[in-house]
Amino acid sequence: MDTLTQLIKAKPEIVPILKKGEIVTVKLVGKAPRAAYFEVQNIGTGVVLGRELLNGRDILKPLSIGDSISAKVSNPENEDGFIELSLTEADKQKSWQAVKELQEKDEPIKVKITAANAGGLMTEIEDLKAFLPVSQLSSEHYPRMQEQSREKLIEELNKFVGAELDVKIISMNQRTNKLIISEKEVLSQNVKDLINQYKIGDVVPGIISGLANFGAFIRFADNPEIEGLIHISELDHRLIESPKEVVAVGDMVNAKVMDIKDNKISLSLKALQPDPWKDIDQKFKADDVIKGTVYKFNPFGAFIKLNDDIVGLIHVSEFGSIEAMKAEISVGQTYDFVITSIKPDEKRIVLKLANKKIPTPAQTETTNG
């Protein structure tokens, strides 16, 4: 074993050993058309080549001989004895480290929205691309559309391009290059404290502040900083197509708190209304023949309005197919139906068409033939 090898083994700190991926400070010692050379102190000479040279040209351009910069080790020693370096990867590494520190601080960050798609909004933090999903927008900025379509959603989200929003970093993954941010996480401690004053079962007065296809937003009258959501299924006992059938923006209402989770409050209007299904078995009985109006079709059959509050279901199997069902009954038309079963606990009445002719085997064979 030679003297140098013995020395390295005895005192490895004399000649540090670089590892792939390590960030080092290097000094520019030369530029050539196809390479840039750097001094890696106490170790050797580093080089930026090929694609790394092309990608790092904007970083190299302002550098003068003797300037220092951070670089990432791509290869501790190539076949020519040089340490291969990456300048762009070092910049990214520093950016991810800065983002990690921002996330650990758990403080709001102001960002400028640069683009939008159907999934959410795009921006940059420390020169890294960041994504703000629609689901992570604050209730104030959440798209409230009567018309639900991809085009309409993108149109609404494009209104934020160029705007500044306060966000927090909720997820980062350097390996997959994903940085996810949230606006709704930037909820002041004051609002969190206000939400904690409420409990499930409370009845609160409020003003309808917005409508969406899935429900209505309500701003609390006693604490206007708080906004909750009444899902469309909680607006009324009857089946409705749109929240605007029940409420309008500006309406004063009382709503019952149904759930509080992740600083979000879910409420209900129908919980404060008399339940029309409570005494349903006193109004309707199995085998009764009643009049009903076809309300809408679905893949399983058709909803039939029996009165203003009660909707029954006739199953597609009563007809054999959707096409056959639509040939016999039409939306908006009234027919005689027979109640086959009533299930109050499930809020379900099953019907069949009265006086419906059942095809004979011969007729069925003729039809199928």
CATH 3.40.50.720 assigned to domain 106-182? The reply is: no
According to CATH, where is 2.40.50.140 located in the chain?
A: 25-92, 106-182, 194-272, 280-353
What number of CA atoms fall less than 13 Å from residue 144's CA on the CB side?
Answer: 19
Predicted local confidence at residue 164, as pLDDT: 94
Superfamily of domain 194-272: Nucleic acid-binding proteins (2.40.50.140)
Q: What is the mean pLDDT of residues 214-237?
A: 92
Question: Is the separation of the CB atoms in 202 and 268 below 8 Å?
Answer: no
Question: Is the separation of the CB atoms in 268 and 255 below 8 Å?
Answer: yes
Core vs surface per residue 283-316: b (16+ CB within 10 A) or e: ebeeeeebebbbbebeeebbbbbbeebbbbebeb
Query: What are 350's two structure tokens?
Result: 């099953």
> What's the chain's average pLDDT?
86
If pLDDT is split at 50, 70 and 90, which confidence band does 123 have?
Answer: very high
What percent of the chain clears pLDDT 70, i.e. is strictly above it?
Answer: 90
Tens digits of per-residue pLDDT, 174-202? 888 899 999 988 876 678 888 999 999 99
If pLDDT is split at 50, 70 and 90, which confidence band does 369 have?
Answer: very low
Predicted local confidence at residue 340, as pLDDT: 93
Residue 274 backbone phi and psi in degrees, to 5: -60, 135
Q: What is the mean pLDDT of residues 23-34?
A: 90
pTM of the predicted model as reported, rounded to 2 decimal places = 0.56
Question: Is the separation of the CB atoms in 39 and 45 below 8 Å?
Answer: yes
Q: What is the mean pLDDT of residues 44-52?
A: 91
**CATH topology assigned to domain 25-92:** OB fold (Dihydrolipoamide Acetyltransferase, E2P) (2.40.50)
Predicted local confidence at residue 314, as pLDDT: 94
If pLDDT is split at 50, 70 and 90, which confidence band does 364 have?
Answer: very low
Tens digits of per-residue pLDDT, 50-64? 888 988 888 888 899
Angle made by CA atoms 124, 126, 132, in degrees to the nearest 5: 30
Question: Is the separation of the CB atoms in 227 and 217 below 8 Å?
Answer: yes
Question: Is the separation of the CB atoms in 314 and 353 below 8 Å?
Answer: yes
Distance from C-alpha of 125 to C-alpha of 117, rounded to nearest angstrom: 18
pLDDT at position 264 over 90: no
Tens digits of per-residue pLDDT, 76-90? 999 888 999 988 888
If pLDDT is split at 50, 70 and 90, which confidence band does 357 have?
Answer: low
CATH 2.40.50.140 assigned to domain 280-353? The reply is: yes
CB atoms within 10 A of CB 33: 5
CB atoms within 10 A of CB 90: 22
pLDDT at position 368 over 70: no
pLDDT at position 335 over 70: yes
If pLDDT is split at 50, 70 and 90, which confidence band does 362 have?
Answer: very low
Predicted local confidence at residue 6, as pLDDT: 54
Q: What is the mean pLDDT of residues 8-13?
A: 52
Question: Is the separation of the CB atoms in 247 and 216 below 8 Å?
Answer: yes
Question: Is the separation of the CB atoms in 305 and 293 below 8 Å?
Answer: yes
pLDDT at position 320 over 70: yes
Helices (H) and strands (E) in the chain, counts: 9, 21
Distance from C-alpha of 259 to C-alpha of 257, rounded to nearest angstrom: 6
Distance from C-alpha of 203 to C-alpha of 255, rounded to nearest angstrom: 6
